[in-house]
A and B are shown apart, each in its own frame.
Chain A
Amino acid sequence: MSTPVPRLALAGIGKAYPSVVANADIDLAVMPGEVHALLGENGAGKSTLMKIVYGVVQPDAGEIRWEGEPTVIATPADARRLGIGMVFQHFSLFETLTVAENVAIGLDEHASPRALAPRIVAVSHRYGLDVDPARPVYSLSVGERQRVEIVRALLGRPKLLILDEPTSVLTPQAAEALFVVLRQLSEEGVSILYISHKLEEIRALAARATVLRGGRVVATVDPRAESPAALARHMIGRELPPPVARAPHPVGPVRLAAAGLTLEPETPHGTRLEDVSFELRAGEILGIAGVSGNGQSELLAAISGERQAPSPAMLLLDGEPAGALGAGARRKHGLAYVPERRLGHATVPEMSLAENTLLTAHRRGLVQGGLVRRDAARQRAAETMKAFDVRAGGVNAAAESLSGGNLQKFVVGREVALAPKVLVVAQPTWGVDVGATAFIRAELVRLRDAGAAVLVVSEDLDELLEVSDRIAVLYRGRLTPPVDAAAHDAESIGLLMGGAHASA
């Protein structure tokens, strides 16, 4: 059946940037019809390698062979001509254009959106990727957008399809549906390069995995023959940190409550919050699960005070109506907030860590007589950095100079250091490496044990199951009643995330 010539073979690929070696001496071969996983931590060089294969970045060293022939892939158009399709992690779609227009614009052949519509429908039926060509992209959920990306890649009739962390935005059920499509493609002879750091997924899908660490290949294995622990060892170079220990803990009074919170979206792409109610008590962690775009940003804005509720009584802080208060007033009442976007929302990118500390801690004696006490701010920043193991060039380093994981540790540390009564955290470990992830989760649990009320909004179900006492699901702007986290697994909560009705 399959020829012994690999469809794609990389030999000795290297790529160095001024400050970092992204790839060094990488060998990789993908056979026709093979699902090949590329496994590694953030910063291991996976994305750079895929950009080299797709012609976005040129390698400094090494050779690419396509079906046995040495090839130079100078541009993405070259890659598509060879038959390489790519589904990016961040979608390359135009929000205000329709699905058909987006597909038309991304194909090299010149076809009109109207002529493409039936072909889009045909492909989507064949693979069970349900998309409506006439809908504008902004009205689609993240999962639907990904289907558009995949359909677009498939219309180019690829021989090799690259997917970069495709399930990071999907519910478990949507991920399962994606795997069905990928298996079908593989049976039709399409090679698949599947990038991920989720071990279970790779074991379910791939027969071979290449593991990258620090820009080098550390192992090429059959993931089904290896235990998850062994795969993780390859990936991070040491033992996987144990999950956070979380003892049952008595809860105190209600610190934060929403009562029938209803809020119109601010943007046409937004979601309307409908009658959202919950109670968050001292000494517990409430997890809000759901695929983003279901009202998460609206809910966070309403809780943090960036937007006001239509009626003050829709949001209660320590039993007091707080819906009309601004963000500063709510912080004065003991609320702390870690937004999803680290740069530009949680921190000012150009400002130093000391100055960024000042932004939320200025009430804690860092300002005297209207003047900033710079030494005190620096000292406070230094303490945060020490306590949270933030690696940066000192307190005067600009926020934008930190890596994602270090900046996240800094932001969480800054808010935890305020000793808040209520901490609201969005996507606490998004894009953070395994070590920092374990550390941040442990800190959240420690804060809860110290009696704070913690609200965690996350797309990562495993994370919520690990840290939360109770979990509610936000779906299309409505919040389900919270369920006991210990009594549920990813499967049952995943069903709620996709809109199945709560039963029991």
Chain B
Amino acid sequence: MDFLVAIVVATVAAGTPLALAALGELVAEKSGVLNLGVEGMMLAGAVAGFAAAATTGNLWLGVACGVVAGIALSFVFAVAVVTLQANQVATGLALAIFGGGLSAFAGQPFVSRSIDGIRAAPLPLLGEIPVLGPLAFSFDPLVYVSLALFGAVAWFLWRTRAGLVLRAVGESPEVAHEVGYPVARIRYAATLFGGAMAGLAGAYLSLAYTPLWVEGLTAGRGWIALALVVFATWRPARVLAGAYLFGGVTVLQFHAQGFGVEVPSQLLSALPYIATIGVLVIISRDAAMVRLNAPASLGKPFHAGD
């Protein structure tokens, strides 16, 4: 039982950073903005969060700093692609590289420092329910936050007027403008939300998942998050399932390595990425589904005026 709980907790913890980053990107993409810089924003969030926590000793201040760092980078991106109408793909790639370099530079003094990270702990009362308690209520607090965010985003996008407008902007900014909605402002908001989530995801990595900082801590999770959004056909529930699948395979390959399976460890480390993409490709092979959910204006700059 304890072993099972440990696996579930580890799976969820490994999937959560991916889930958060992908959720933010999903909202940005639903408004028509393709931000390929998720990896860079995650790294910025990770280093900012770790630096703040290591300096002040306050983990929650660290989380806040990670979010702010993600927002700051996505703001730069939004200015470039929404206001200045730069090419979204090129700008996003530049942002990913920039975030990587900036985090390596800013994180220099913090390499090899260690902190006491955010811990998973059973919730009082609920955690004491037999069987279910340890399985469902023994995560760290940010996991609950991430689940709440998924619920909130799904509700926002499909149940509120503002969410409807956001989806409409991603579908056809021309028509949205004609009807009288501020396309640029909505795209800014969505992009900044994406940045905040990527920053939070990064902070989760450096403060909860592996409480330390090394260069390139995210190990490509930002790129997987991007793929996850597409293969999950822009639907939050599928994004979450894909992220946990990634987490599950990550945990399994750790145990495989621990048991001394005769496979090169590099290959095992690659397994979560391969498995996630593989499964998602299979579920998203229904082209009709992809076209119906994909934001039609994704990646296209919009210029208001006649």
Interface residues as binary, A90-113 with B (CB distance below 8 Å gives 1, 0 otherwise): 001111110001001110101011
Task: Please name all residues of chain A whose beta carbon is closer than 8 Å to the beta carbon of B175 when the two chains form the complex.
Answer: 92-94
Q: Are B164 and A76 in contact (CB under 8 A)?
A: no
Residue of B nearest to A88 (CB): B178
Task: Please name all residues of chain B whose beta carbon is closer than 8 Å to the beta carbon of A97 when the two chains form the complex.
Answer: 164, 167-168, 171
B83 in the interface, Cβ–Cβ < 8 Å? no
* Given known contacts A95-B296, A97-B171, A104-B161, A268 and B291 CB-to-CB distance under 8 angstroms: yes
Task: Please name all residues of chain B whose beta carbon is closer than 8 Å to the beta carbon of A138 when the two chains form the complex.
Answer: 292
Other A-B contacts than A95-B171, A101-B168, 4 sampled, CB-CB below 8 A, are A76-B180, A97-B167, A101-B164, A110-B161
Once the chains are docked, how many angstroms separate the CA of A138 from the CA of B165? 18
* Given known contacts A105-B179, A106-B179, A268-B291, A94 and B172 CB-to-CB distance under 8 angstroms: yes
- Name the distance in Å between B149's Cβ and chain A's nearest Cβ: 23
Residue of B nearest to A57 (CB): B306
B288 in the interface, Cβ–Cβ < 8 Å? yes
User: What interface size band does chain B fall in?
Assistant: 10 to 19
Q: Which of B140-195 touch A at CB < 8 Å?
A: 161, 164-165, 167-168, 171-172, 175-176, 178-181
List 3 tightest A-B contacts by C-beta distance, closest first: A268-B288, A92-B175, A94-B171
- Name the distance in Å between A93's Cβ and chain B's nearest Cβ: 7
Q: Are B164 and A105 in contact (CB under 8 A)?
A: yes
Q: Which one, B164, B181, B288, contacts A113 given CB within 8 A?
A: B164
Total A-B contacts with CB atoms under 8 angstroms apart: 50
Q: Is the interface of B mostly helix, strand, loop or mixed?
A: helix
Residue of B nearest to A51 (CB): B306
Task: Please name all residues of chain A whose beta carbon is closer than 8 Å to the beta carbon of B292 when the two chains form the complex.
Answer: 96, 138, 268
Task: Please name all residues of chain A whose beta carbon is closer than 8 Å to the beta carbon of B181 when the two chains form the complex.
Answer: 105
Task: Please name all residues of chain A whose beta carbon is closer than 8 Å to the beta carbon of B178 when the two chains form the complex.
Answer: 56, 76, 92
Give A residues with C-beta under 8 Å from B: 56-57, 75-77, 92-97, 101, 104-106, 108, 110, 112-113, 138, 267-268
Once the chains are docked, how many angstroms separate the CA of A97 from the CA of B180? 17
Q: Are B291 and A105 in contact (CB under 8 A)?
A: no
Once the chains are docked, how many angstroms separate the CA of A138 from the CA of B288? 12
Q: Are A77 and B180 in contact (CB under 8 A)?
A: yes
* Given known contacts A110-B161, A268-B288, A268-B292, A94 and B306 CB-to-CB distance under 8 angstroms: no
Task: Please name all residues of chain B whose beta carbon is closer than 8 Å to the beta carbon of A77 when the two chains form the complex.
Answer: 180
Task: Please name all residues of chain A whose beta carbon is closer than 8 Å to the beta carbon of B176 when the two chains form the complex.
Answer: 105
- Name the distance in Å between A353's Cβ and chain B's nearest Cβ: 28
Residue of A nearest to B295 (CB): A96
- Name the distance in Å between A378's Cβ and chain B's nearest Cβ: 35
Task: Please name all residues of chain A whose beta carbon is closer than 8 Å to the beta carbon of B168 when the two chains form the complex.
Answer: 94, 97, 101, 105
Task: Please name all residues of chain B whose beta carbon is closer than 8 Å to the beta carbon of A75 when the two chains form the complex.
Answer: 180
Task: Please name all residues of chain B whose beta carbon is closer than 8 Å to the beta carbon of A57 when the two chains form the complex.
Answer: 306
Once the chains are docked, how many angstroms separate the CA of A93 from the CA of B178? 10
Once the chains are docked, how many angstroms separate the CA of A112 from the CA of B292? 22
